[in-house]
A and B are shown apart, each in its own frame.
Chain A
Amino acid sequence: MEDCVIDIKNISKVFNPGENEVRALNDVSLKIYKGEFVSLMGSSGSGKSTLLNILGCLDQPTSGTYLLDGQEVSGISKSEISLIRNRKFGFVFQSYNLLPKTSALENVELPLLYNSQYSIKARREKAEEALVSVGLKDRIFHKTNELSGGQQQRVAIARALVNEPKVIFADEPTGNLDSKTSYQVMELFQNLNEKGILIVMVSHEPDIVEMSKRKIILHDGKIIEDIEILNPKNAHELFVAADSK
């Protein structure tokens, strides 16, 4: 199908091959289409993070094939993979992973540093634009340690979307946030998804997952459930409701 962005077949990932081998993913096949908002769920050790890392090309599967936009990804060179991550993907992590003692702007500029098409000026404009879009217009020059957790995660999201990615991978993006701030972050994700960005998120919070469009549950390295969420909750409404309390 033309709209299929991510297509993995029979993916396995084995850590410590040998006696103490850990089979983190066991023969997983999965297709993700354009415009989807996918949540990966599962208990600790179920393989959800490993799957996210493989989908995000941060890790290579032990066996199986991965077609990204119809292109084979497994087995291509490290520098080509770097290029894919830089041009097509955005990453959001649970612990934000911002550079310490550095301004929000510089953090957001980071992915553009590795794209020589951008001049210093263009880099700055893009980064400012991204920060404005996550509602941090007045925090552009603040150092990251001067920002709250929610603000830091929004800087991280701005960093993820600054290079206009096709897919944003989020690993427990609300894991360190209270529920109200979580709704804010999820609202951002929903808005980005509206604009056509594919989002793949790992989360173990059921209420957060209810805001995505598709729920995939893993257990012992296998997909045990893959269901569409028919009426995703609206993060903005939840935020307003929480705010009025």
Chain B
Amino acid sequence: MKVSDLLLSALRSINRNRSRSLLTMLGIIIGVASVIGMLALGNGATQSIKGELGKLGTNLIMVMPGADQQRGVSTDLANVEILKESDVKAILNLSPSVTYISPVVSTKSQAVFGSNNSRPNVTGGYRDYFFINNYEIKYGQLFDERTGKSLQKVCVIGKTVAEDLFENEKDAVGKIIRLDKIPFRIIGVLEEKGQTMGMDGDNIIIAPFRTVQKRLLGLTYLHQIHAATENEDEVDAAVAEIDDVMTNYLKKVSGGEPQFRIATQKEMLDVMGTVLGLLTLLLAAIAGISLLVGGIGIMNIMLVTVTERTREIGLRLAVGAPSNVILLQFLIESVVISLIGGIIGIMLGYTLASIGGSLMDMTAEVTPSSVLMAFGFSFLVGVLFGFFPARKAARLNPIQALRHE
């Protein structure tokens, strides 16, 4: 018997019991659809989060105070007096891979213009801060010196702030706003950055570092140091250099073990990617269990089919069908059922992914590898769970099978 004959006979048998076959397929359909949907949504989420983090600058290196305790008292890391502006200078002078560097202090403050007010994040930094964090100017200009003129009361505002305070964001440039009662002149408006992980990246005011540090906050230290390299592949070298500089420099200046921590955006992206990948895999594995259950459904129905068609099997054996052909016939039938289920499942998975994607406002991408995997898996399920019933059919005794009622 040729494979084409077997295939035809399988399709016919499936067609004869249409509703039963469809119900059997349902397990596979749901399994495959959920595996594909989950993987697509997981991929989509990973991509969109990576994209958002990427907006923050992929070459970003952050130096943060690393002590969680000061003389036995837990303190807010941001308020630990470890990093000084002199560290920034030291890094700039001694670390050749670092192209951009800026100290960072930040706070939340009230911004007032006329009768309008807003509550943005206020950050103090050098001009490099804009380059490091991928801020681009839309109207006006950036600070005119690299470090910003000392204590100059100017600022660059984000789109949200501009919209909150002014009718037209173009008009913002040149206006004087008050931050905690201190007047600041707006010299620029930033391009829109959008939401980043649920946070409004445009609700921001950036002013020269020392202005914010001394005037607004009255601090002598700084919260973080942001640095960036020209290219992504220099990040690792830069991290090593910064670590070296900081360790030696801080030791010399303050004595004792320096307490700081270096984090890179790349690192965060990697960690995020790993976590999301694991999560996706976990979801897919849970969905895979339903595929397994679907396979058991196929086995069950194939067993019923074999029992139902015992006489037919007996007859086929009697007229000279070799038992391996009988085995193949039922195996092909179960594989065809699970493959048809798989194909429908893939289509449903696509639909689920696009619906889920639009609901969650991200592009859920069905990858070819996940389709291939789902297809292969449903084939495997068909073979695995079809084998036992098929073998049962092939081992029937023709005389007993013919007498079967």
Q: Could you tell me which A residues sit within 8 Å of B by CB distance?
A: 53, 56, 58-59, 78-79, 82-87, 89, 91, 93, 97, 99, 101, 110-111, 113-116, 159
Question: Is the beta-carbon distance between A110 and B319 smaller than 8 angstroms?
Answer: yes
Question: Is the beta-carbon distance between B318 and A99 smaller than 8 angstroms?
Answer: no
5 closest residue pairs by CB, A with B = A86-B320, A111-B319, A85-B320, A82-B322, A97-B315
Q: Which of B16, B398, B399 contacts A101 (CB 8 A)?
A: B16
Question: Is the beta-carbon distance between B323 and A82 smaller than 8 angstroms?
Answer: yes
Question: Is the beta-carbon distance between B315 and A99 smaller than 8 angstroms?
Answer: yes
Q: Which of B2, B311, B317 contacts A82 (CB 8 A)?
A: B317
B323's nearest neighbour on chain A, judged by CB, is: A78
Question: Is the beta-carbon distance between B16 and A114 smaller than 8 angstroms?
Answer: no
Report how far A110 CA is from B9 CA in the complex, Å: 11
Whether a CB of chain A sits under 8 angstroms from the CB of B276 is no
B311's nearest neighbour on chain A, judged by CB, is: A97
B312's nearest neighbour on chain A, judged by CB, is: A99
Q: Name the interface residues of B314-334: CB closer than 8 Å to any CB of A.
A: 314-325
A97 contact set on B, CB distance < 8 A: 311, 314-315, 402
Q: 28 A-B residue contacts at CB 8 Å?
A: A53-B399, A56-B318, A58-B318, A58-B398, A58-B399, A79-B322, A79-B323, A79-B324, A84-B320, A85-B318, A85-B320, A86-B319, A86-B320, A89-B320, A91-B319, A97-B311, A101-B16, A110-B316, A110-B319, A111-B319, A113-B321, A114-B316, A114-B319, A114-B320, A114-B322, A114-B325, A116-B1, A116-B2
A169's nearest neighbour on chain B, judged by CB, is: B318
B316 contact set on A, CB distance < 8 A: 110, 114
B257 contact set on A, CB distance < 8 A: none
A84 contact set on B, CB distance < 8 A: 320
B144 contact set on A, CB distance < 8 A: none
B1 contact set on A, CB distance < 8 A: 113-114, 116
Report how far A58 CA is from B312 CA in the complex, Å: 15
Could you list 19 further interchain pairs (A-B, Cβ under 8 angstroms) beyond the known A79-B324, A97-B314, A111-B320?
Answer: A53-B399, A58-B318, A58-B399, A79-B323, A82-B323, A83-B322, A86-B319, A86-B321, A87-B320, A89-B320, A91-B319, A97-B315, A113-B5, A113-B321, A114-B316, A114-B320, A115-B320, A116-B1, A159-B319
Q: Smallest distance from the beta carbon of B105 to chain A beta carbons, Å?
A: 83
A87's nearest neighbour on chain B, judged by CB, is: B320
Report how far A86 CA is from B316 CA in the complex, Å: 10
Q: Total interface residues on B, using CB and 8 Å?
A: 21
Q: Which of A78, A82, A110, A115 contacts B315 (CB 8 A)?
A: A110
Residue among B314, B316, B318 with the highest chain A CB neighbour number at 10 A: B318
B contacts with A: majority SS: helix
B398's nearest neighbour on chain A, judged by CB, is: A58
Q: Smallest distance from the beta carbon of A78 to chain B beta carbons, Å?
A: 6
Q: Smallest distance from the beta carbon of A122 to chain B beta carbons, Å?
A: 13
Q: Smallest distance from the beta carbon of B318 to chain A beta carbons, Å?
A: 5
Question: Is the beta-carbon distance between A114 and B318 smaller than 8 angstroms?
Answer: no
B320's nearest neighbour on chain A, judged by CB, is: A86
B311 contact set on A, CB distance < 8 A: 97
Report how far A78 CA is from B322 CA in the complex, Å: 8
Q: Which of B314, B320, B323, B398 contacts A83 (CB 8 A)?
A: B320
Q: Name the interface residues of B367-405: CB closer than 8 Å to any CB of A.
A: 398-399, 402
Q: Which of B321, B399, B402 contacts A114 (CB 8 A)?
A: B321
Report how far A38 CA is from B323 CA in the complex, Å: 30
Report how far A128 CA is from B317 CA in the complex, Å: 22
Q: Smallest distance from the beta carbon of A163 to chain B beta carbons, Å?
A: 8
Report how far A85 CA is from B322 CA in the complex, Å: 10
A59's nearest neighbour on chain B, judged by CB, is: B399
A85 contact set on B, CB distance < 8 A: 318-320
Q: Smallest distance from the beta carbon of B269 to chain A beta carbons, Å?
A: 60
Q: Smallest distance from the beta carbon of A176 to chain B beta carbons, Å?
A: 14
B398 contact set on A, CB distance < 8 A: 58
B5 contact set on A, CB distance < 8 A: 113
A109's nearest neighbour on chain B, judged by CB, is: B5
Report how far A18 CA is from B57 CA in the complex, Å: 85
Interface string of B278-319 (1 = CB under 8 A from A): 000000000000000000000000000000000110111111
Q: Smallest distance from the beta carbon of B321 to chain A beta carbons, Å?
A: 5
Question: Is the beta-carbon distance between B320 and A82 smaller than 8 angstroms?
Answer: yes
Q: Smallest distance from the beta carbon of A121 to chain B beta carbons, Å?
A: 13
A123's nearest neighbour on chain B, judged by CB, is: B5
A87 contact set on B, CB distance < 8 A: 320
Report how far A82 CA is from B322 CA in the complex, Å: 6
Report how far A84 CA is from B402 CA in the complex, Å: 19
Interface string of B125-155 (1 = CB under 8 A from A): 0000000000000000000000000000000
Q: Smallest distance from the beta carbon of A156 to chain B beta carbons, Å?
A: 10
B317's nearest neighbour on chain A, judged by CB, is: A82
B321's nearest neighbour on chain A, judged by CB, is: A114
- Given A58-B398, A58-B399, A93-B402, answer yes or no on A82-B321 (Cβ-Cβ < 8 Å): yes
